[in-house]
Amino acid sequence: MTPFQKYVRGPLCFPNQSLWKAYEGESAMKKLRTGSLLFTFWLSLTSVIYSQESEERVSEGTLHELLGGIEERTSFHGFADIQFRFEDPSEGEERSFFTLGQLDFFPTAQLTDHISFLNETIVRAATGEQQIFSVERLIIKYAIRDSFNLALGRFHTALGYWNEAYHHGAWLQTTIDRPEIMTFNAILPIHSVGVELSGILDFPTFDLSYVANFANGRGITPAQVQIFSDANNDKAYAFKLSLRPKGLPGLALGPTIYYDVIPPDISTPPKFGETTELILGGHLVYLTKRFEFLAEYFNIHHDEEISSKTFDTNGFYIQTAYQKGKLKPYYRFDFVDIGKGDPFFSSFIDIKRHTVGLRYDVATFNALKLEYAWQDTDVTSANLILFQSAFAF
Amino acid sequence: MRCNILKLAILLGALFQVLGVESGETYGVDFGVVVNKANPVEDLSLKEVEKIFKAEKLFWDHGKKIVLLLPEAGSPEKKVLLGLVYKVSDEELKQFWLTKIFRNEIPLAPKVLSSNTAVIKFVEKVEGAIGLVRLNGPIENDVKIIRINGKLPGEPGYEVRLE
Protein backbone atom coordinates (compact mmCIF):
# COMPACT_ATOMS: atom_id res chain seq x y z
CA MET A 1 0.00 0.00 0.00
CA THR A 2 1.35 3.41 -0.99
CA PRO A 3 1.20 6.38 1.39
CA PHE A 4 -1.49 7.90 -0.82
CA GLN A 5 -3.62 4.79 -0.56
CA LYS A 6 -2.96 4.56 3.11
CA TYR A 7 -3.50 8.15 4.21
CA VAL A 8 -5.70 9.75 1.53
CA ARG A 9 -7.58 7.40 -0.75
CA GLY A 10 -8.09 4.91 1.92
CA PRO A 11 -9.67 7.19 4.48
CA LEU A 12 -11.69 9.08 1.86
CA CYS A 13 -13.25 6.35 -0.15
CA PHE A 14 -12.57 3.30 1.88
CA PRO A 15 -12.01 1.14 -1.20
CA ASN A 16 -10.10 -1.25 0.84
CA GLN A 17 -11.82 -1.11 4.14
CA SER A 18 -10.18 -4.15 5.38
CA LEU A 19 -6.80 -2.62 4.88
CA TRP A 20 -7.85 0.62 6.56
CA LYS A 21 -9.46 -1.18 9.43
CA ALA A 22 -6.44 -3.31 9.75
CA TYR A 23 -4.28 -0.20 9.96
CA GLU A 24 -6.27 2.14 12.16
CA GLY A 25 -9.06 0.16 13.65
CA GLU A 26 -12.78 0.52 13.10
CA SER A 27 -13.34 3.25 15.70
CA ALA A 28 -10.69 5.43 14.01
CA MET A 29 -12.43 5.04 10.67
CA LYS A 30 -15.72 6.18 12.07
CA LYS A 31 -14.03 9.15 13.69
CA LEU A 32 -12.38 10.14 10.47
CA ARG A 33 -15.61 9.90 8.51
CA THR A 34 -17.49 11.94 11.07
CA GLY A 35 -14.68 14.43 11.29
CA SER A 36 -14.61 14.91 7.52
CA LEU A 37 -18.32 15.57 7.38
CA LEU A 38 -18.19 17.94 10.31
CA PHE A 39 -15.25 19.81 8.83
CA THR A 40 -17.03 20.20 5.51
CA PHE A 41 -20.15 21.57 7.11
CA TRP A 42 -18.11 23.88 9.36
CA LEU A 43 -16.36 25.16 6.27
CA SER A 44 -19.61 25.88 4.49
CA LEU A 45 -21.24 27.38 7.57
CA THR A 46 -18.37 29.74 8.31
CA SER A 47 -18.21 30.86 4.71
CA VAL A 48 -21.86 31.93 4.85
CA ILE A 49 -21.41 33.66 8.20
CA TYR A 50 -18.22 35.32 6.99
CA SER A 51 -19.93 36.66 3.91
CA GLN A 52 -22.55 38.35 6.07
CA GLU A 53 -19.96 39.80 8.42
CA SER A 54 -17.25 40.48 5.88
CA GLU A 55 -18.36 44.09 5.93
CA GLU A 56 -16.46 46.29 8.29
CA ARG A 57 -17.36 46.09 11.95
CA VAL A 58 -17.76 49.64 13.20
CA SER A 59 -17.08 50.22 16.81
CA GLU A 60 -18.25 53.24 18.76
CA GLY A 61 -14.65 54.42 18.84
CA THR A 62 -14.39 54.42 15.06
CA LEU A 63 -17.63 56.37 14.76
CA HIS A 64 -16.30 59.00 17.15
CA GLU A 65 -13.27 59.43 14.93
CA LEU A 66 -15.48 59.68 11.90
CA LEU A 67 -17.66 62.26 13.56
CA GLY A 68 -15.38 64.56 15.40
CA GLY A 69 -11.62 64.25 15.03
CA ILE A 70 -9.87 67.46 14.07
CA GLU A 71 -8.05 65.59 11.36
CA GLU A 72 -11.42 64.86 9.80
CA ARG A 73 -12.39 68.52 9.83
CA THR A 74 -9.47 70.06 7.97
CA SER A 75 -7.93 69.72 4.57
CA PHE A 76 -4.91 71.16 2.88
CA HIS A 77 -4.49 71.52 -0.84
CA GLY A 78 -2.44 73.60 -3.17
CA PHE A 79 -1.92 74.66 -6.75
CA ALA A 80 1.12 75.67 -8.70
CA ASP A 81 2.35 76.06 -12.23
CA ILE A 82 5.54 76.43 -14.16
CA GLN A 83 5.70 78.10 -17.54
CA PHE A 84 7.87 78.70 -20.54
CA ARG A 85 7.13 81.86 -22.52
CA PHE A 86 8.36 82.97 -25.91
CA GLU A 87 7.48 86.51 -26.98
CA ASP A 88 8.14 87.90 -30.45
CA PRO A 89 7.05 91.55 -30.60
CA SER A 90 6.76 93.41 -33.87
CA GLU A 91 9.07 96.03 -32.40
CA GLY A 92 11.93 95.03 -30.18
CA GLU A 93 13.78 91.83 -29.59
CA GLU A 94 12.20 88.49 -29.08
CA ARG A 95 12.70 86.93 -25.69
CA SER A 96 12.08 83.60 -24.02
CA PHE A 97 12.15 82.59 -20.39
CA PHE A 98 10.99 80.08 -17.84
CA THR A 99 8.85 81.42 -15.06
CA LEU A 100 7.28 80.17 -11.87
CA GLY A 101 3.59 80.78 -11.65
CA GLN A 102 1.83 81.36 -8.39
CA LEU A 103 2.31 78.78 -5.64
CA ASP A 104 -1.08 78.60 -3.98
CA PHE A 105 -1.58 77.11 -0.50
CA PHE A 106 -5.15 76.30 0.29
CA PRO A 107 -6.23 75.09 3.74
CA THR A 108 -9.91 74.68 4.64
CA ALA A 109 -11.66 73.61 7.80
CA GLN A 110 -15.14 72.69 8.97
CA LEU A 111 -15.36 74.29 12.41
CA THR A 112 -18.99 73.29 13.07
CA ASP A 113 -21.87 72.10 10.91
CA HIS A 114 -22.55 75.72 9.96
CA ILE A 115 -19.15 77.44 10.20
CA SER A 116 -16.22 76.87 7.88
CA PHE A 117 -12.90 78.51 7.13
CA LEU A 118 -10.92 78.97 3.95
CA ASN A 119 -7.54 80.50 3.29
CA GLU A 120 -5.69 80.98 0.04
CA THR A 121 -2.13 82.21 0.47
CA ILE A 122 0.11 82.51 -2.53
CA VAL A 123 3.79 82.99 -3.18
CA ARG A 124 4.21 85.17 -6.22
CA ALA A 125 6.80 87.18 -8.00
CA ALA A 126 7.33 90.79 -7.04
CA THR A 127 9.65 93.35 -8.55
CA GLY A 128 13.35 92.60 -8.82
CA GLU A 129 13.00 88.79 -8.79
CA GLN A 130 11.66 88.97 -5.27
CA GLN A 131 8.97 86.62 -4.07
CA ILE A 132 6.32 87.61 -1.60
CA PHE A 133 3.60 85.93 0.38
CA SER A 134 0.16 87.29 -0.21
CA VAL A 135 -3.06 86.35 1.52
CA GLU A 136 -5.50 86.31 -1.35
CA ARG A 137 -8.49 84.85 0.46
CA LEU A 138 -9.22 84.59 4.17
CA ILE A 139 -12.83 83.72 4.80
CA ILE A 140 -14.94 82.57 7.68
CA LYS A 141 -18.30 81.45 6.41
CA TYR A 142 -21.53 81.00 8.32
CA ALA A 143 -23.77 78.70 6.30
CA ILE A 144 -27.25 79.33 7.67
CA ARG A 145 -29.14 77.46 4.98
CA ASP A 146 -28.80 76.86 1.23
CA SER A 147 -30.47 80.18 0.49
CA PHE A 148 -28.37 82.26 2.89
CA ASN A 149 -24.67 82.28 3.75
CA LEU A 150 -22.68 85.01 5.45
CA ALA A 151 -18.93 85.31 4.94
CA LEU A 152 -16.38 87.70 6.40
CA GLY A 153 -12.87 88.36 5.23
CA ARG A 154 -11.01 88.80 2.00
CA PHE A 155 -12.62 87.22 -1.03
CA HIS A 156 -12.93 87.53 -4.76
CA THR A 157 -15.36 90.30 -5.66
CA ALA A 158 -18.74 89.27 -7.02
CA LEU A 159 -17.89 90.17 -10.59
CA GLY A 160 -19.13 87.73 -13.16
CA TYR A 161 -18.15 84.10 -13.54
CA TRP A 162 -14.38 83.71 -13.95
CA ASN A 163 -13.35 85.65 -10.87
CA GLU A 164 -15.24 83.37 -8.49
CA ALA A 165 -14.77 80.14 -10.45
CA TYR A 166 -11.00 80.04 -10.97
CA HIS A 167 -9.32 82.30 -8.38
CA HIS A 168 -5.57 81.60 -8.43
CA GLY A 169 -5.69 77.98 -9.49
CA ALA A 170 -4.08 77.66 -12.90
CA TRP A 171 -4.90 73.94 -12.98
CA LEU A 172 -8.62 74.71 -12.65
CA GLN A 173 -8.83 77.00 -15.67
CA THR A 174 -8.61 75.72 -19.23
CA THR A 175 -6.17 78.37 -20.46
CA ILE A 176 -2.73 79.42 -19.27
CA ASP A 177 -3.57 83.09 -18.58
CA ARG A 178 -6.66 84.75 -17.23
CA PRO A 179 -8.71 86.90 -19.62
CA GLU A 180 -7.20 90.34 -20.12
CA ILE A 181 -10.16 92.05 -18.43
CA MET A 182 -9.66 89.76 -15.42
CA THR A 183 -5.91 90.08 -14.83
CA PHE A 184 -4.64 90.65 -11.31
CA ASN A 185 -3.21 94.03 -12.36
CA ALA A 186 -6.32 94.93 -12.07
CA ILE A 187 -8.70 96.67 -14.43
CA LEU A 188 -11.50 95.17 -12.37
CA PRO A 189 -11.47 95.21 -8.54
CA ILE A 190 -10.69 91.50 -8.30
CA HIS A 191 -10.42 91.33 -4.50
CA SER A 192 -12.44 92.84 -1.68
CA VAL A 193 -12.24 92.87 2.10
CA GLY A 194 -15.58 92.97 3.88
CA VAL A 195 -18.81 91.00 4.05
CA GLU A 196 -20.32 88.64 1.53
CA LEU A 197 -23.86 87.34 1.44
CA SER A 198 -24.66 84.47 -0.88
CA GLY A 199 -27.15 81.72 -1.50
CA ILE A 200 -29.06 79.62 -3.98
CA LEU A 201 -32.81 79.98 -4.41
CA ASP A 202 -34.60 76.90 -5.71
CA PHE A 203 -37.47 77.61 -8.12
CA PRO A 204 -39.49 75.01 -10.06
CA THR A 205 -37.80 75.62 -13.39
CA PHE A 206 -34.51 77.26 -12.42
CA ASP A 207 -32.02 77.90 -9.66
CA LEU A 208 -31.02 81.47 -8.92
CA SER A 209 -27.76 82.10 -7.14
CA TYR A 210 -26.84 85.50 -5.76
CA VAL A 211 -23.73 87.07 -4.27
CA ALA A 212 -23.63 90.48 -2.59
CA ASN A 213 -20.52 92.26 -1.27
CA PHE A 214 -20.14 95.14 1.15
CA ALA A 215 -16.45 95.97 1.33
CA ASN A 216 -13.63 98.51 1.72
CA GLY A 217 -13.40 99.13 -2.00
CA ARG A 218 -10.53 100.17 -4.23
CA GLY A 219 -7.35 101.83 -3.05
CA ILE A 220 -5.65 104.75 -4.77
CA THR A 221 -4.20 102.48 -7.47
CA PRO A 222 -6.06 99.79 -9.40
CA ALA A 223 -4.12 96.86 -7.93
CA GLN A 224 -4.29 98.06 -4.32
CA VAL A 225 -6.60 96.08 -2.06
CA GLN A 226 -7.47 97.91 1.15
CA ILE A 227 -6.81 95.13 3.64
CA PHE A 228 -6.24 96.89 6.97
CA SER A 229 -8.05 100.20 6.54
CA ASP A 230 -10.20 102.24 4.20
CA ALA A 231 -8.87 105.53 2.82
CA ASN A 232 -12.39 106.88 2.65
CA ASN A 233 -15.63 106.14 4.44
CA ASP A 234 -17.35 105.13 1.21
CA LYS A 235 -17.80 101.43 0.90
CA ALA A 236 -18.01 99.33 -2.24
CA TYR A 237 -21.15 97.40 -3.11
CA ALA A 238 -21.34 94.51 -5.55
CA PHE A 239 -24.22 92.31 -6.55
CA LYS A 240 -24.30 89.38 -8.93
CA LEU A 241 -27.07 87.06 -10.05
CA SER A 242 -26.70 83.80 -11.92
CA LEU A 243 -29.71 81.99 -13.32
CA ARG A 244 -29.41 78.27 -14.08
CA PRO A 245 -32.36 76.73 -15.96
CA LYS A 246 -33.10 73.21 -14.77
CA GLY A 247 -34.12 72.19 -18.25
CA LEU A 248 -30.63 72.94 -19.60
CA PRO A 249 -28.01 71.81 -17.08
CA GLY A 250 -24.71 73.62 -17.50
CA LEU A 251 -26.16 76.96 -18.59
CA ALA A 252 -25.70 79.99 -16.33
CA LEU A 253 -26.27 83.65 -17.11
CA GLY A 254 -26.76 86.85 -15.23
CA PRO A 255 -25.83 90.46 -14.53
CA THR A 256 -23.26 92.09 -12.26
CA ILE A 257 -23.21 95.56 -10.73
CA TYR A 258 -20.46 97.18 -8.67
CA TYR A 259 -20.34 100.65 -7.14
CA ASP A 260 -17.49 102.33 -5.30
CA VAL A 261 -15.91 105.72 -4.62
CA ILE A 262 -12.18 105.61 -5.30
CA PRO A 263 -10.22 107.74 -2.81
CA PRO A 264 -8.08 110.63 -4.10
CA ASP A 265 -4.38 110.25 -4.66
CA ILE A 266 -2.88 113.56 -3.54
CA SER A 267 0.53 112.62 -4.98
CA THR A 268 -0.88 112.42 -8.51
CA PRO A 269 -2.44 115.70 -9.70
CA PRO A 270 -4.96 114.19 -12.11
CA LYS A 271 -6.29 112.11 -9.22
CA PHE A 272 -6.65 114.86 -6.62
CA GLY A 273 -10.35 114.26 -6.32
CA GLU A 274 -12.48 111.22 -5.64
CA THR A 275 -13.70 109.11 -8.54
CA THR A 276 -17.04 107.38 -8.61
CA GLU A 277 -16.81 103.94 -10.15
CA LEU A 278 -19.81 102.06 -11.57
CA ILE A 279 -19.26 98.67 -13.19
CA LEU A 280 -21.98 96.91 -15.12
CA GLY A 281 -21.44 93.50 -16.60
CA GLY A 282 -22.87 90.13 -17.46
CA HIS A 283 -21.87 86.54 -17.98
CA LEU A 284 -23.08 83.73 -20.21
CA VAL A 285 -21.65 80.32 -19.47
CA TYR A 286 -22.44 76.88 -20.82
CA LEU A 287 -20.44 73.99 -19.37
CA THR A 288 -20.92 70.31 -20.01
CA LYS A 289 -18.61 67.33 -19.73
CA ARG A 290 -17.50 67.84 -23.34
CA PHE A 291 -18.20 71.47 -24.20
CA GLU A 292 -17.18 74.78 -22.65
CA PHE A 293 -18.41 78.24 -23.57
CA LEU A 294 -17.61 81.30 -21.48
CA ALA A 295 -18.41 84.91 -22.31
CA GLU A 296 -18.30 87.98 -20.08
CA TYR A 297 -18.58 91.70 -20.68
CA PHE A 298 -17.87 94.67 -18.41
CA ASN A 299 -18.26 98.42 -18.69
CA ILE A 300 -16.32 100.45 -16.12
CA HIS A 301 -17.61 103.99 -15.81
CA HIS A 302 -15.53 106.60 -13.96
CA ASP A 303 -16.82 110.01 -12.94
CA GLU A 304 -14.18 112.37 -11.61
CA GLU A 305 -15.27 114.70 -8.84
CA ILE A 306 -13.03 117.67 -9.56
CA SER A 307 -12.87 117.73 -13.36
CA SER A 308 -16.39 116.31 -13.83
CA LYS A 309 -14.93 114.26 -16.69
CA THR A 310 -16.25 110.78 -17.34
CA PHE A 311 -14.47 107.79 -18.82
CA ASP A 312 -15.71 104.43 -20.04
CA THR A 313 -13.57 101.34 -20.23
CA ASN A 314 -15.02 98.30 -21.97
CA GLY A 315 -13.73 94.78 -21.96
CA PHE A 316 -14.95 91.31 -22.80
CA TYR A 317 -13.77 87.82 -23.65
CA ILE A 318 -15.26 84.82 -25.41
CA GLN A 319 -13.78 81.39 -24.78
CA THR A 320 -14.74 78.03 -26.15
CA ALA A 321 -13.29 74.56 -25.72
CA TYR A 322 -14.08 70.93 -26.48
CA GLN A 323 -13.00 67.98 -24.34
CA LYS A 324 -12.04 64.83 -26.22
CA GLY A 325 -10.66 62.25 -23.83
CA LYS A 326 -7.65 63.80 -22.12
CA LEU A 327 -7.27 66.50 -24.81
CA LYS A 328 -9.03 69.83 -24.80
CA PRO A 329 -8.44 72.28 -27.66
CA TYR A 330 -9.60 75.82 -26.99
CA TYR A 331 -9.83 79.33 -28.37
CA ARG A 332 -10.32 82.71 -26.72
CA PHE A 333 -10.70 86.25 -27.93
CA ASP A 334 -9.89 89.09 -25.52
CA PHE A 335 -10.78 92.73 -26.00
CA VAL A 336 -10.02 95.66 -23.71
CA ASP A 337 -10.63 99.30 -24.64
CA ILE A 338 -9.35 101.63 -21.92
CA GLY A 339 -11.23 104.90 -21.47
CA LYS A 340 -9.12 107.57 -23.17
CA GLY A 341 -7.42 109.84 -20.67
CA ASP A 342 -8.71 108.01 -17.61
CA PRO A 343 -6.03 108.85 -15.00
CA PHE A 344 -6.95 105.88 -12.82
CA PHE A 345 -6.15 103.51 -15.71
CA SER A 346 -3.13 105.45 -17.01
CA SER A 347 -0.88 102.37 -16.82
CA PHE A 348 -3.17 100.20 -18.96
CA ILE A 349 -3.34 99.94 -22.73
CA ASP A 350 -5.91 98.70 -25.23
CA ILE A 351 -5.48 95.10 -26.22
CA LYS A 352 -6.94 92.60 -28.63
CA ARG A 353 -5.74 89.03 -28.35
CA HIS A 354 -6.48 85.73 -30.10
CA THR A 355 -5.39 82.61 -28.24
CA VAL A 356 -5.52 79.03 -29.48
CA GLY A 357 -4.30 76.22 -27.32
CA LEU A 358 -4.40 72.59 -26.35
CA ARG A 359 -4.75 71.24 -22.84
CA TYR A 360 -3.68 67.68 -22.06
CA ASP A 361 -4.62 66.16 -18.69
CA VAL A 362 -1.59 63.96 -18.22
CA ALA A 363 -2.81 62.92 -14.76
CA THR A 364 -5.85 63.54 -12.58
CA PHE A 365 -4.29 66.66 -11.06
CA ASN A 366 -1.72 67.72 -13.66
CA ALA A 367 -2.41 69.46 -16.93
CA LEU A 368 -0.04 70.47 -19.72
CA LYS A 369 -1.05 73.41 -21.87
CA LEU A 370 0.44 74.70 -25.10
CA GLU A 371 -0.74 77.98 -26.61
CA TYR A 372 -0.15 80.30 -29.48
CA ALA A 373 -1.42 83.87 -29.08
CA TRP A 374 -1.40 86.91 -31.30
CA GLN A 375 -1.99 90.20 -29.55
CA ASP A 376 -2.32 93.74 -30.77
CA THR A 377 -2.01 96.68 -28.39
CA ASP A 378 -1.76 100.47 -28.65
CA VAL A 379 2.01 100.15 -28.63
CA THR A 380 2.87 97.00 -30.49
CA SER A 381 1.75 93.60 -31.62
CA ALA A 382 3.33 90.29 -30.73
CA ASN A 383 3.31 86.58 -31.34
CA LEU A 384 3.44 84.49 -28.20
CA ILE A 385 4.13 80.80 -27.65
CA LEU A 386 3.42 79.61 -24.13
CA PHE A 387 3.76 76.30 -22.35
CA GLN A 388 2.53 75.49 -18.85
CA SER A 389 2.48 72.57 -16.47
CA ALA A 390 -0.25 73.28 -13.94
CA PHE A 391 -1.04 70.97 -11.04
CA ALA A 392 -2.99 70.58 -7.85
CA PHE A 393 -2.09 68.65 -4.69
CA MET B 1 -21.87 5.00 -0.77
CA ARG B 2 -19.98 6.50 2.15
CA CYS B 3 -17.35 7.78 -0.29
CA ASN B 4 -20.04 9.44 -2.38
CA ILE B 5 -21.57 11.12 0.67
CA LEU B 6 -18.21 12.49 1.67
CA LYS B 7 -17.46 13.71 -1.83
CA LEU B 8 -20.85 15.41 -1.92
CA ALA B 9 -20.20 17.05 1.44
CA ILE B 10 -16.87 18.42 0.30
CA LEU B 11 -18.42 19.68 -2.93
CA LEU B 12 -21.19 21.43 -1.04
CA GLY B 13 -18.65 22.99 1.27
CA ALA B 14 -16.69 24.35 -1.66
CA LEU B 15 -19.85 25.66 -3.26
CA PHE B 16 -20.82 27.51 -0.09
CA GLN B 17 -17.37 29.02 0.00
CA VAL B 18 -17.77 30.40 -3.53
CA LEU B 19 -21.24 31.75 -2.84
CA GLY B 20 -20.16 33.15 0.49
CA VAL B 21 -17.44 35.36 -1.00
CA GLU B 22 -18.74 38.79 -1.96
CA SER B 23 -18.82 39.21 -5.66
CA GLY B 24 -17.63 42.49 -7.17
CA GLU B 25 -20.74 42.93 -9.28
CA THR B 26 -24.38 42.79 -8.22
CA TYR B 27 -26.30 43.50 -11.38
CA GLY B 28 -30.05 43.71 -11.07
CA VAL B 29 -29.86 44.40 -7.33
CA ASP B 30 -31.59 47.41 -5.82
CA PHE B 31 -29.70 49.95 -3.78
CA GLY B 32 -31.41 51.96 -1.10
CA VAL B 33 -30.89 55.58 -0.09
CA VAL B 34 -30.92 55.57 3.70
CA VAL B 35 -31.45 58.40 6.16
CA ASN B 36 -31.79 58.61 9.92
CA LYS B 37 -35.22 57.63 11.26
CA ALA B 38 -35.64 61.09 12.80
CA ASN B 39 -35.27 62.71 9.39
CA PRO B 40 -38.78 63.73 8.24
CA VAL B 41 -37.89 63.12 4.57
CA GLU B 42 -39.82 60.19 3.12
CA ASP B 43 -39.54 60.71 -0.62
CA LEU B 44 -37.01 62.39 -2.88
CA SER B 45 -37.03 62.89 -6.61
CA LEU B 46 -34.03 61.64 -8.53
CA LYS B 47 -33.14 65.31 -9.23
CA GLU B 48 -33.10 66.02 -5.51
CA VAL B 49 -30.93 62.98 -4.88
CA GLU B 50 -28.58 64.27 -7.54
CA LYS B 51 -28.43 67.70 -5.89
CA ILE B 52 -27.71 66.17 -2.49
CA PHE B 53 -25.00 63.80 -3.71
CA LYS B 54 -23.38 66.60 -5.73
CA ALA B 55 -23.40 68.80 -2.60
CA GLU B 56 -25.50 71.41 -4.37
CA LYS B 57 -28.00 71.13 -1.55
CA LEU B 58 -26.24 71.30 1.82
CA PHE B 59 -29.18 71.51 4.25
CA TRP B 60 -32.34 69.49 4.68
CA ASP B 61 -35.56 71.49 4.41
CA HIS B 62 -36.03 71.11 8.16
CA GLY B 63 -32.69 72.88 8.74
CA LYS B 64 -30.30 70.06 9.63
CA LYS B 65 -26.98 69.90 7.82
CA ILE B 66 -26.79 67.15 5.23
CA VAL B 67 -23.91 64.80 6.07
CA LEU B 68 -23.15 63.08 2.80
CA LEU B 69 -21.58 59.64 2.90
CA LEU B 70 -19.91 58.17 -0.15
CA PRO B 71 -18.93 54.56 -0.82
CA GLU B 72 -15.34 53.74 -1.56
CA ALA B 73 -13.93 53.59 -5.06
CA GLY B 74 -14.61 50.42 -6.99
CA SER B 75 -17.58 49.33 -4.89
CA PRO B 76 -20.93 48.50 -6.54
CA GLU B 77 -22.50 51.38 -4.60
CA LYS B 78 -19.95 53.78 -6.09
CA LYS B 79 -20.64 52.47 -9.57
CA VAL B 80 -24.33 53.16 -9.11
CA LEU B 81 -23.63 56.73 -8.06
CA LEU B 82 -21.13 57.35 -10.85
CA GLY B 83 -23.62 56.15 -13.43
CA LEU B 84 -26.81 57.63 -12.01
CA VAL B 85 -25.73 60.88 -10.35
CA TYR B 86 -22.23 62.03 -11.25
CA LYS B 87 -21.91 60.65 -14.80
CA VAL B 88 -18.12 60.89 -14.60
CA SER B 89 -15.27 58.52 -13.79
CA ASP B 90 -13.90 58.11 -10.29
CA GLU B 91 -10.85 60.22 -11.18
CA GLU B 92 -13.03 62.99 -12.59
CA LEU B 93 -15.07 62.87 -9.39
CA LYS B 94 -11.94 63.68 -7.36
CA GLN B 95 -11.45 66.73 -9.57
CA PHE B 96 -15.09 67.63 -9.01
CA TRP B 97 -14.73 67.66 -5.21
CA LEU B 98 -11.48 69.66 -5.25
CA THR B 99 -13.09 72.23 -7.51
CA LYS B 100 -16.06 72.63 -5.15
CA ILE B 101 -13.72 73.06 -2.16
CA PHE B 102 -11.67 75.63 -4.03
CA ARG B 103 -14.76 77.61 -4.89
CA ASN B 104 -15.77 77.62 -1.21
CA GLU B 105 -18.96 75.74 -2.04
CA ILE B 106 -18.02 73.05 0.49
CA PRO B 107 -15.23 73.07 3.10
CA LEU B 108 -14.33 69.38 2.83
CA ALA B 109 -14.88 66.45 0.53
CA PRO B 110 -17.64 64.07 1.69
CA LYS B 111 -16.82 61.20 4.03
CA VAL B 112 -16.02 57.88 2.40
CA LEU B 113 -17.02 54.74 4.26
CA SER B 114 -15.87 51.32 3.17
CA SER B 115 -18.91 49.15 3.89
CA ASN B 116 -22.68 49.03 4.08
CA THR B 117 -22.47 48.31 7.80
CA ALA B 118 -20.41 51.43 8.40
CA VAL B 119 -22.83 53.56 6.40
CA ILE B 120 -25.85 52.21 8.24
CA LYS B 121 -24.28 52.65 11.66
CA PHE B 122 -23.20 56.19 10.80
CA VAL B 123 -26.65 57.15 9.49
CA GLU B 124 -28.17 55.65 12.63
CA LYS B 125 -26.06 57.96 14.78
CA VAL B 126 -26.13 61.19 12.78
CA GLU B 127 -29.51 62.76 12.11
CA GLY B 128 -28.52 64.60 8.94
CA ALA B 129 -26.62 61.73 7.32
CA ILE B 130 -27.53 60.15 4.01
CA GLY B 131 -25.92 57.26 2.21
CA LEU B 132 -26.44 54.58 -0.40
CA VAL B 133 -26.42 50.90 0.58
CA ARG B 134 -26.86 47.62 -1.21
CA LEU B 135 -29.96 45.79 -0.05
CA ASN B 136 -29.05 42.22 0.88
CA GLY B 137 -32.05 41.90 3.16
CA PRO B 138 -34.09 43.84 5.72
CA ILE B 139 -32.18 46.51 7.61
CA GLU B 140 -32.62 46.05 11.33
CA ASN B 141 -31.00 49.30 12.43
CA ASP B 142 -32.70 52.57 13.25
CA VAL B 143 -32.54 53.95 9.70
CA LYS B 144 -35.08 54.21 6.94
CA ILE B 145 -35.00 53.71 3.23
CA ILE B 146 -36.57 56.60 1.41
CA ARG B 147 -38.65 56.50 -1.72
CA ILE B 148 -37.10 57.71 -4.94
CA ASN B 149 -39.65 59.24 -7.31
CA GLY B 150 -42.31 57.60 -5.15
CA LYS B 151 -40.87 54.09 -5.43
CA LEU B 152 -39.31 51.85 -2.85
CA PRO B 153 -36.59 49.32 -3.73
CA GLY B 154 -38.10 46.29 -5.37
CA GLU B 155 -41.10 48.15 -6.75
CA PRO B 156 -41.46 48.41 -10.53
CA GLY B 157 -39.82 51.55 -11.81
CA TYR B 158 -37.35 51.92 -8.98
CA GLU B 159 -34.30 53.49 -10.58
CA VAL B 160 -31.46 53.13 -8.11
CA ARG B 161 -29.86 49.92 -9.28
CA LEU B 162 -26.74 48.69 -11.03
CA GLU B 163 -27.67 47.90 -14.62
One domain, residues A296 and A250: yes
Nearest CA in chain A to B118: A58
Give the structural domain span for B136.
26-148
Q: Nearest CA to B70 among B32, B120, B114?
A: B114
> Which residue type is seen at A291?
F
d(CA B56, CA B112): 18
Q: Is residue B112 part of a domain?
A: yes
One domain, residues A30 and A80: no
Q: Is residue B106 part of a domain?
A: yes
One domain, residues A318 and A373: yes
Strands annotated E in chain A: 74-89, 95-100, 103-110, 115-125, 131-145, 148-156, 191-202, 206-215, 236-245, 251-262, 275-287, 291-304, 310-322, 327-337, 351-363, 366-377, 381-392
One domain, residues A198 and A163: yes
Under DSSP, is residue B54 helix (H, G, I), strand (E, B) or coil?
coil
Q: What is the DSSP letter of A273?
A: S
One domain, residues A40 and A142: no
Q: What pLDDT does A125 receive?
A: 78
Q: What pLDDT does B19 receive?
A: 45
Contact between residue A160 and residue A296 where contact means Cβ atoms under 8 Å apart: yes
Give the structural domain span for A225.
75-392
- Between CA B162 and CA A323, with CA B78 as vertex, the angle to 5 degrees is 95
Cis peptide before A367 (omega within 30 of 0): no
Q: What pLDDT does B137 receive?
A: 73
Q: Which of A15, A47, A77 sits opposite B17 (nearest CB)?
A: A47
B104: chain A residues, CB-CB within 8 Å: 118, 137, 139, 141, 151, 155
Q: What pLDDT does A82 receive?
A: 95
Contact B65 A139 (CB under 8 A): no
B99: chain A residues, CB-CB within 8 Å: 172
Which residues, numbered 31 to 90 in chain A, qualify as contacts with chain B under a Cβ-Cβ cut-off of 8 Å?
33, 36-37, 39-41, 43-45, 47-48, 50-52, 54-58, 62-63, 66-67, 72-75, 77
One domain, residues A294 and A220: yes
CB half-sphere exposure, A105, CA atoms < 13 A: 9
Contact between residue A140 and residue A151 where contact means Cβ atoms under 8 Å apart: yes
Q: Å from A202 to nearest chain B CA?
A: 10
Q: Which of A12, A56, A139 sits opposite B117 (nearest CB)?
A: A56
One domain, residues A27 and A166: no
CATH of the domain at B40: 3.40.190.10
Under DSSP, is residue B120 helix (H, G, I), strand (E, B) or coil?
helix
B57: chain A residues, CB-CB within 8 Å: 146, 202
Nearest CA in chain B to A55: B115
* The total number of structural domains that make up chain B: 1
One domain, residues A105 and A223: yes
pTM value? Answer: 0.80
Q: Å from A183 to nearest chain B CA?
A: 18
Contact A36 B126 (CB under 8 A): no
Under DSSP, is residue A197 helix (H, G, I), strand (E, B) or coil?
strand
Q: What pLDDT does A64 receive?
A: 39
d(CA A171, CA A366): 7
Q: Is residue B155 part of a domain?
A: no
Contact B94 A51 (CB under 8 A): no
Which residues, numbered 145 to 184 in chain A, qualify as contacts with chain B under a Cβ-Cβ cut-off of 8 Å?
145-146, 151, 155, 164-165, 167, 169, 172
Q: Is residue B55 part of a domain?
A: yes
Q: What pLDDT does B136 receive?
A: 77
Q: Which of A45, A117, A145 sits opposite B63 (nearest CB)?
A: A145
pLDDT tens string, chain A, 393 residues long: the values are 565 555 545 444 444 455 444 444 446 555 556 555 555 555 544 444 444 333 333 333 334 344 456 667 899 999 999 999 999 999 889 999 999 888 999 999 999 999 999 999 999 877 667 778 889 999 999 999 999 999 999 999 999 999 989 988 899 999 999 999 998 878 999 999 999 999 999 999 999 999 999 999 999 888 888 888 888 888 999 999 999 999 999 999 999 999 999 998 877 776 678 999 999 999 999 999 999 999 999 999 999 988 889 999 999 999 999 999 999 999 999 999 999 999 999 999 999 999 999 999 999 999 999 999 999 998 899 999 999 999 999
Q: What is the DSSP letter of A7?
A: I
Q: Is residue B158 part of a domain?
A: no
One domain, residues A105 and A37: no
Q: Is residue B77 part of a domain?
A: yes
Q: Is residue B13 part of a domain?
A: no
One domain, residues A31 and A129: no
d(CA A216, CA A154): 10
Low-confidence ranges of chain B (pLDDT < 70): 1-28, 163
Q: What pLDDT does A19 receive?
A: 47
* The total number of structural domains that make up chain A: 2
Bridge partners for A283 per DSSP: A254, A296
Which residues, numbered 298 to 337 in chain A, qualify as contacts with chain B under a Cβ-Cβ cut-off of 8 Å?
none
Q: Is residue B130 part of a domain?
A: yes
CATH of the domain at A141: 2.40.160.10
One domain, residues A40 and A96: no
Buried-exposed string A188-225: b where 16+ CB fall within 10 A, e elsewhere: bbbbbbbebebbbeeeeeebebbbebebbbbbbebeeb
B6: chain A residues, CB-CB within 8 Å: 12-13, 33, 36-37, 40
Residue B4 CB neighbours (<10 A): 9
